[in-house]
Structure 1
Amino acid sequence: MLAVVLCLFIISPALAWIPLEDWDSGNVTTSVGESGQCLCHVFLPDTSFPADRVEHMQQVSKDMILEVKIQMNKMVSYEAKLNVYLKELSDLNVRVAMLETSPDKYIKLDFELLRIELREFEALVTQLRESLNSSSPIFDSLYTEIRNMTLIVNQLETYDKSNLDVIRIEFAKLQKKLKDCQEDQEFIQPDIGNCNHTGILKISKPMVVQLNAHLNSGYQYGGWGKDSKPIRGYESMYYYGGYSGAHVYDFYLYSNYDKLILRSEFKRHHIPSAYVGTGNNYIVHGNSIYYQHDVGMCKLNLTSSRYDFRAVSDASGSFSYSYSPNQNLDFAADENGLWVLYASDESRGKMIIAKVDEKSFGIEDKWNTGVYKQLVGNAFMACGIMYATRPVDLNTEEIFYAFDTKTGEEKQLSITFPKFQERYTNLDYNPMDQKLYMYNNGYYVSYNVRFNRG
């Protein structure tokens, strides 16, 4: 009798799709089982794992997570503001309801004014919702309140009433709130990167965060802010440096705003004695810190910790800003790149604007202005225009001068804004959020900038 031998092939399911003709006989082994059956083992290594696609997927996932965080931060900011105006609308709705229940106490009013205000409010809510590209319960509630009030106004218009002075006052308040909201809307929705305007129109009220990270009022010199040209993954990074004198010897880096407030840095750069800086007008731009060393430019790369130095041949150490000594070189950044502001003996103390070539770390162009540096409290660049400030009184600062590097024109201005305290040592514009960052007598202070777009 002939014995029947069964041969069982053991093959990984993930490799079952490989054609038989591609199998290598050298990868096949046979053996006999306990019951005498033939067992065939096939080893098929998989060398076609799509590593490049997985890496691409991981990068896309990181980008999506970053974008979601940005949109979530926008939503929190807008919804907080909308909550305030929703409450104001609710209060006004109550007062209008009181009118409806006691119609005999009021005289006829020009109700068209209220209709106009309500239409403006509705347009504002629409603009906010479109800016977020989404809806929310707050938006829906606002629309409901506006529609209800419009219906009530239409009903009240049919009455012949008396003594509506109180309602006129409420209308005036609503009109002012609408105006303020529209102005705030321009502040909180800056048109980043767009220089299609005629210059700065207004500076917001100051936002004071806290005393410096050292929590010491003696640290009156220093600076803080964000990278004006951040590399990928560091868009939320903040920097800070505070000192008891007009010298620069270390910097602290924080991964985000919350870490700054909690004083929880992720990196500290201690500057060696050979590169200790002077003055306080430094910035972070393109993942490098630019600061003054003697009467020259110093650059510290935050990744490699490499230092570079370039002398500014015509810069003078005799002309500082009015608020503090040794501020001979003032670094600034805007939509057009990196700048350094200073004065020379040849210019007789008048400010010079110099464009810095970031690759060669040298001066590529210069403009002579007509403003004396020693009369200036501080200066900054925005869209290629230098703005100079001076004190008006103990609590008020004024942008009084502007020089446009595109046209060579200079202007006298009077754009006032409040100061938290009298003296400050650092004022810089950041094109990434269109804010001014001020180090004001040891305090973190920031301002929103509104441009005149016609």
Structure 2
Amino acid sequence: MHRILVLLLIAGPAYAWLPVEEWGSGNVTGSLGEFGQCICKVYLPDTSFPADHVESVQISSNRLTAEVELHIKKVLHFKGELVILLSELSNLTSRVEMLESGPDKYIKLDFELLRVELRQFETLVTHLKASLNSSLPIFDSLYTEIRNMSMTVDQLESYDKSNLEVIRIEFVKLQRKLEKCQDEQEDFSNAAIGSCKHGGILRVGKPVVSQLNADLNSNFKFGGWGKDSEPLPGSEHMYFYYSYSDPLFSRIRVYADYYRLIMRQPIRTHELYINSAKDWRGLGNNYIVRNNTLYYQFRSPFSMGKYDMNKQTAEYRVVPKASNRFSYHYSDSQNLDFAADEKGLYVTYATEESNGKLVLGKINEAAFALEDVWQTSIFKQSVTNAFMVCGILYATRSVDVQTEEIFYAYDTNKRQESYISIKFEKFQDFYVSLDYNPRDQKLYMFNNGYYVSYSVKFKTA
């Protein structure tokens, strides 16, 4: 029969174990239990429990918990900043890539802004690394990438300032000398802005190519751009633009000034089509903006459209007898061409009754209706485009791949027409929009997807 050894430990207010070798015979007594088992009673000394140690551990634990929570909050804070700055970094990267792609993709470089943003990224990475006490390779990689981007910006600025700027200044000086030379040989002087005290167009300057369209898409060959011909106060520097791969016109973008146009930063985008809820789309590319109102060829029904950019409402008027069978020479759907000059708003078109010859109508802007009509003798499909200056209609035609010619003029003031020859250079062969703006005396052309403009010189009266 196996005997079971049972130890009963009895102490005062607290208990503790003693090593076996310290068990003295006076401290241990033994006896047999009721069922023959051996019972040993051990009397231990009265030892106090180390409560102060437990309290110290508890305090340390609370302090560590608070520190961990603080670091968690820091990580969450930096994570939020990182998400925002990563988004900015993506935008910054695209801007740097644009700068690297060549000088033709920008007009003004804000190098200091780039440096400020890069310093912000550098500071964030440093803080994250120190806060997390991390030596992960990703931080070193990010830091190296930011430093490389900073060096690239410095190189681009150095390149721009030491070469492009000098070349540009010298080019401007040379251009001014040539223009002065030419001015001395020709009898002309430009009238003041808004004035018609001149003898008509003398010549058209060289094409100034701003850049590829804001969508940076060479397939977007159809479209138009320009300035408001009679801007509201505060909108004198505003530009508009739209283009697409076909003549369908569905939106217009507005830019605060020329810099934002080039940097592709619209302040507003007006949608002319939203599913089945709204369909104010147009056709063709010969639209203009006047008094913050867009005038364009309405798609359905075939008519002239008017979109108020302030109220964001549209209306249309059918042009009496206008036909949609006679477009300009370069492309289809150019049936209604809107133009503005120092004297008002116009639309050109053709009719079946005129056998496709170009008709000019003066638009009463308040009534949005034709108030006067003039019949010309030129066949509309032989014309590449037309525009108005001081009540005179000018029509163009193609001479060759690189040359365009203003070959026809109709003076609405005298109701007289004449054939003229004013040749000017095309940037590329195919263009769909050409309009004169009386606010700066320039022609605006959308030439095969590019923004192109021309200065216009006038004869003396």
CA contact 2:188–2:459 (8 Å) conserved in 1? no
How far does residue 190 in structure 1 lie from its aligned partner after superposition? 5.4
Partner of 2:244: 243
What residue identity is the alignment partner of 1:219? F
CA distance in 1 between partners of 2:396 and 2:366 (Å) = 30
CA distance in 1 between partners of 2:343 and 2:388 (Å) = 9
How far does residue 182 in structure 1 lie from its aligned partner after superposition? 5.7
CA distance in 1 between partners of 2:397 and 2:172 (Å) = 40
How far does residue 180 in structure 1 lie from its aligned partner after superposition? 3.8
CA deviations 1:307-356 (Å, max 9, x no partner) are 01111121000100000001100000000100000000011111111000
Confirm whether residue 329 of structure 1 aligns to residue 336 of structure 2: yes
Confirm whether residue 448 of structure 1 aligns to residue 449 of structure 2: no
RMSD across aligned positions (CA): 2.5
What are structure 2's unaligned runs of at least 5 residues? 1-165
CA deviations 1:428-449 (Å, max 9, x no partner) are 0000000000000000000000
What residue identity is the alignment partner of 2:318? A
Q: Partner of 1:236: helix, strand, or coil?
A: coil
Partner of 1:344: 351
What residue identity is the alignment partner of 1:179? C
What are structure 1's unaligned runs of at least 5 residues? 1-79, 89-123, 125-173
Q: Which moved more, 1:226-235 or 1:270-279?
A: 270-279
How far does residue 84 in structure 1 lie from its aligned partner after superposition? 4.7
Q: 1:269 to 1:333 in 2, by over 3 A?
A: same
Q: 1:182 to 1:252 in 2, by over 3 A?
A: farther
CA distance in 1 between partners of 2:234 and 2:314 (Å) = 23
Confirm whether residue 390 of structure 1 aligns to residue 397 of structure 2: yes
What residue identity is the alignment partner of 2:298? H
Identity of aligned residues (%): 48
Q: 1:267-282, aligned counterparts within 5 Å?
A: 267-272=268-273, 274-282=279-287
CA contact 2:188–2:460 (8 Å) conserved in 1? no
| Structure 1 residue ranges (4+ consecutive) displaced by more than 3 angstroms after TM superposition | 80-88, 180-187
Confirm whether residue 286 of structure 1 aligns to residue 291 of structure 2: yes
CA distance in 2 between partners of 1:262 and 1:206 (Å) = 20
CA distance in 2 between partners of 1:222 and 1:276 (Å) = 13
Q: Partner of 2:266: helix, strand, or coil?
A: coil
Q: 1:408 to 1:348 in 2, by over 3 A?
A: same
How far does residue 181 in structure 1 lie from its aligned partner after superposition? 6.6
Partner of 1:406: 413
Q: How many residues align?
A: 289
Partner of 1:179: 181
What residue identity is the alignment partner of 1:276? R
Partner of 2:427: 420
Q: Partner of 1:425: helix, strand, or coil?
A: strand
CA contact 1:190–1:433 (8 Å) conserved in 2? no
Structure-1-length-normalised TM-score: 0.60
Partner of 1:68: none
Partner of 1:264: 265
Partner of 2:209: 208
CA distance in 1 between partners of 2:187 and 2:233 (Å) = 28
Q: 1:31-430, aligned counterparts within 5 Å?
A: 84=170, 178-180=180-182, 191-272=192-273, 274-294=279-299, 295-430=302-437
CA distance in 2 between partners of 1:231 and 1:328 (Å) = 29
Q: 1:86 to 1:242 in 2, by over 3 A?
A: closer
How far does residue 274 in structure 1 lie from its aligned partner after superposition? 2.2
CA contact 1:380–1:388 (8 Å) conserved in 2? yes
CA contact 1:190–1:434 (8 Å) conserved in 2? no
Q: Partner of 2:223: helix, strand, or coil?
A: strand
CA distance in 1 between partners of 2:311 and 2:331 (Å) = 32
Larger radius of gyration between Structure 1 and Structure 2: 2
CA contact 1:212–1:444 (8 Å) conserved in 2? yes
Q: Partner of 1:374: helix, strand, or coil?
A: helix
CA distance in 2 between partners of 1:362 and 1:184 (Å) = 41
CA deviations 1:64-91 (Å, max 9, x no partner) are xxxxxxxxxxxxxxxx999759988xxx
Partner of 1:165: none
CA deviations 1:361-402 (Å, max 9, x no partner) are 011010000111000000000000000000000000000000
CA contact 2:188–2:202 (8 Å) conserved in 1? no
Q: 1:199 to 1:254 in 2, by over 3 A?
A: same
What residue identity is the alignment partner of 1:226? K
